[in-house]
Homo-oligomer: A and B are copies of this chain.
Amino acid sequence: MNPISPRQLSPARETGWRRRWFDIIYRHDTPPSRNFDLLLIAAIVISVLVVMLDSVASIHARYAKLLYVIEWGFTLLFTVEYVLRLMTVRQPLRYALSGWGIIDLLSILPTYLSLLIPGSQSLLVLRALRILRLFRILKLTQYVEESGLLLGALWRSRRKIFIFFSAVMTLVVIFGAAMYLIEGPQHGFTSIPTSMYWAIVTMATVGFGDIAPQTTLGRAVTSILILIGYSIIAVPTGIYTAELVTSLREASHEPGHLDRRDCPQCGLEGHDPDALHCRNCGSRLPASMG
């Protein structure tokens, strides 16, 4: 998915109603665009709720007609939004082929398709993907820094997490193959992919119990797998926590480690609190305020 930010998209016109609507739809920093965002998120949440409720048999039986009308209402609303997005942007195709553009299209298409192909309406659950737009609220000022910190720590630990997942997948393949040999199809381990699914379910401590070892050897191997999984569960937590501790320390130290004394000679700021002379020009510093 390649979300396109306002900086990459430019308005179709520099003035007029299309420019105004471009600002409302694509920007997030003016009062009207913020209201538009909130309304859109509300509409998305409600439309997803409608799809959810419609999937419940008892509700569908009673309110099928009402939900059908609401569904068409939201489809038309999102169609208008989609057309507006295409009209106000300078490169409509670029938006249409971006991650957000495809999701927006997928969320309205099924209702129209259901006129031609009955049953395709169930694809409306794709509308759930639009809920990703919820993360727009992260653009609200207070959350920007926080989510930056969280994602920054995730990004810096990406290589470590890749190594970790390689190790996990290797264990899954080896233990999956071993359990297929040991337990065999008669105990539910019908194939190596199925055994691997079981190994993932077990190592991650989910443990559905739909497949479970029944031989003594199988249970012994399972115990080993669980103990490995139990100690390995520490690794991503450890990686992420260690990175986050570092991030938080840096965030709190950066403005603080160095004090704000100006050098009276060259004007350099940011000296160690116990420095007597400017580290740049060597002239005497005023006393630190600490």
A72, CB-defined interface residue at 8 Å: no
Interface bin, chain A:
35 or more
Given A142-B159, A180-B55, A246-B248, A174-B282 contact (CB < 8 Å):
no
Contact bitstring A125-156, B, C-beta under 8 A = 1, else 0:
11011011011011000110011011001000
Given A52-B192, A174-B131, A238-B241 contact (CB < 8 Å):
yes
- Main SS of the interface on chain A? helix
Assess whether B237 is in contact with A165, with CB atoms less than 8 Å apart: no
Most buried by B among A57, A147, A177, A214: A177
Residues of B within 8 A of A173 (CB): 48, 128, 131
* Interface members, chain A 202-240 (any B CB < 8 Å): 202, 204-210, 212, 214, 216, 219-220, 222-223, 226-227, 229-231, 233-240
Contact bitstring A183-214, B, C-beta under 8 A = 1, else 0:
00100001111101100111011111110101
Binding-face segment, A10-18, A93-101, A262-270? A262-270
How long is the Cα–Cα vector from A227 to B197 in the complex, in angstroms?
11
